[in-house]
Amino acid sequence: MLPRRQDYGKRRSDGVRSGSVINFRIAGSPGSVRRSSALLPSVLTFLVIVASGGLLLMIEKGMLNSVETPSPRGSARRLELIGETRKHGADGADVDSQILQEIRNRTIRTMCSQKNMPHSVWSLSPLQRKTVLQHILVNDEYRFLYCYVPKVACSNWKRVLKVLSGVLESVDVNIKMDHRSDLLFLSSLKPEEIRYRLKHYFKFMFVREPMERLLSAYRNKFGEIESYQKKYGAEIVKRYRKGRAKDPSVTGDDVTFGEFVRYLLDEDVERMNEHWMPIYNLCQPCAVSYNFIGSYEQLGRDSEYVLQRIGAPPFVHFPERQTWYKPVTTQTLHYYLCTLPQKLLRELLPKYILDFSLFAYPLPNTTTEHCRH
């Protein structure tokens, strides 16, 4: 059974308490994404350099044509992190993971401390608050909040939540995932219950390289899901394909990536479908002080850390990737981005610039020379 709302004051002797391992001290989030989308990339690049304290260097070439991000370097804190980690016998991969967390911590602290950032979910606009509260899942027994991001292993995390709440016996049970039933969303609670959980529960989310996530959504929704083809695909074809505006035979099953990108450029990011809405808008990492931000690129290790941190039983593990899953490879992403007209890509990247900046992902290199290879 799901934990009852009135149990939110319950404390586990071995449960998660206020505070965090990573301890993001965050002031707030950019108000309107319309504003954030309009921010100059050069300004955001500068903010990233300042925020990371020398750990992250993003070099802009031209106008968002490419960005190269060398390995973090030149930081006393980085050397300190490496020293501390090696004392405990951690391998190089763990060192890199800790450095990445430090980059994100500093970047988020600096960018979210700007004056125009709200200080909590209550400072967000009604639409922004509705979005984030509808994407934060609650587990009262283990005292944690998880902000799910579509196309970032959220189905498997929902399986984990259902096992922890006793709805499923195992994460390996072969059933079609119901993304709504048997799950408790923060939006369904009263304001005082929401405040308590945001203050005292362990909060985490997972992120993914923005363009890789976007391509994954495109291939899945327009290549495999008929309902998306009918609802979004048909509209996109009629809107952007010459001579098809009033064609009743349009099925939407042949939307090109370029047409999809043109559609995104005309969309208000705050009203996008959740599968391609920027991660920033879904989880508001400035308004919500997340204790841990895991990476899709390090999914296994980061998921194991979270399970240990929340005190999950030993038999609960993160599910193995489904055999039918088709990953987005570096080569595939390179192909799709390099076949886009440069103008479209230059206009698309600012829509996701906060995801790139806050979560320490380099902007894609799509220079002519790079694309030839």
Is residue 201, in this structure, part of any structural domain at all?
Answer: yes
> Contact at 8 Å (CB) between 95 and 74?
no
Is residue 53, in this structure, part of any structural domain at all?
Answer: no
Domain encompassing residue 120: 94-359
Residues 6+ apart with CB under 8 A from 283: 132, 135, 136, 147, 149, 205, 290
> Contact at 8 Å (CB) between 138 and 185?
yes
Is residue 289, in this structure, part of any structural domain at all?
Answer: yes
pLDDT tens for the 373 residues of the chain, in order? 444 444 434 434 343 333 333 333 333 344 443 433 334 334 444 444 443 333 333 323 332 333 333 333 333 443 443 344 444 444 556 787 788 888 888 899 888 988 888 779 999 999 999 999 999 999 999 999 999 999 999 999 999 999 999 999 888 887 777 677 889 999 999 999 999 999 999 999 999 999 999 999 999 999 999 999 999 999 999 999 998 988 889 999 999 999 999 999 999 999 999 999 999 999 999 999 999 999 999 999 999 999 999 999 999 999 987 666 778 999 999 999 999 999 999 999 999 999 999 999 999 988 888 888 7
> Contact at 8 Å (CB) between 22 and 105?
yes
For position 36, what pLDDT does the model report? 39
Place of tokens 């363009």: 211
Is residue 18, in this structure, part of any structural domain at all?
Answer: no
Taking only Cα atoms into account, the Rg of the chain, rounded to an integer number of angstroms, comes to 21
Is residue 12, in this structure, part of any structural domain at all?
Answer: no
For position 172, what pLDDT does the model report? 83
Q: How far apart are CA 308 and CA 157, in angstroms?
A: 14
Place of tokens 């790139």: 356
For position 366, what pLDDT does the model report? 84
Measured from the Cβ of residue 303, the count of other Cβ atoms closer than 10 Å reads: 20
Which helix (H) or strand (E) covers residue 184, if one does?
strand 184-185
**Angle at the Cα of 201 (from 275 to 312), degrees rounded to 5?**
85
Comparing CA positions, the residue from 148, 162, 145, 158 lying closest to residue 196 is 145
> Contact at 8 Å (CB) between 313 and 142?
no
Q: Are strands 202-207 and 144-147 parallel, antiparallel or unpaired?
A: parallel
Residue 184: CA count within 13 A, CB half-sphere: 23
| Amino acid identity for residue 283 in this structure | C
> Contact at 8 Å (CB) between 305 and 292?
yes
For position 27, what pLDDT does the model report? 34
Is residue 129, in this structure, part of any structural domain at all?
Answer: yes
For position 92, what pLDDT does the model report? 57
Is residue 326, in this structure, part of any structural domain at all?
Answer: yes
Q: How far apart are CA 259 and CA 239, in angstroms?
A: 9
Structural domain total, the chain: 1
> Contact at 8 Å (CB) between 291 and 364?
no
Torsion of CA 297, 220, 222, 359, to 10 degrees: -20
Is residue 84, in this structure, part of any structural domain at all?
Answer: no
SS3 label, residue 195: helix
Q: Are strands 59-61 and 66-68 parallel, antiparallel or unpaired?
A: antiparallel
Q: Does this model's pTM top 0.85? A: no
Residues 6+ apart with CB under 8 A from 162: 168, 182, 183
Measured from the Cβ of residue 112, the count of other Cβ atoms closer than 10 Å reads: 24
For position 93, what pLDDT does the model report? 62
Q: How far apart are CA 203 and CA 63, in angstroms?
A: 36
For position 100, what pLDDT does the model report? 85
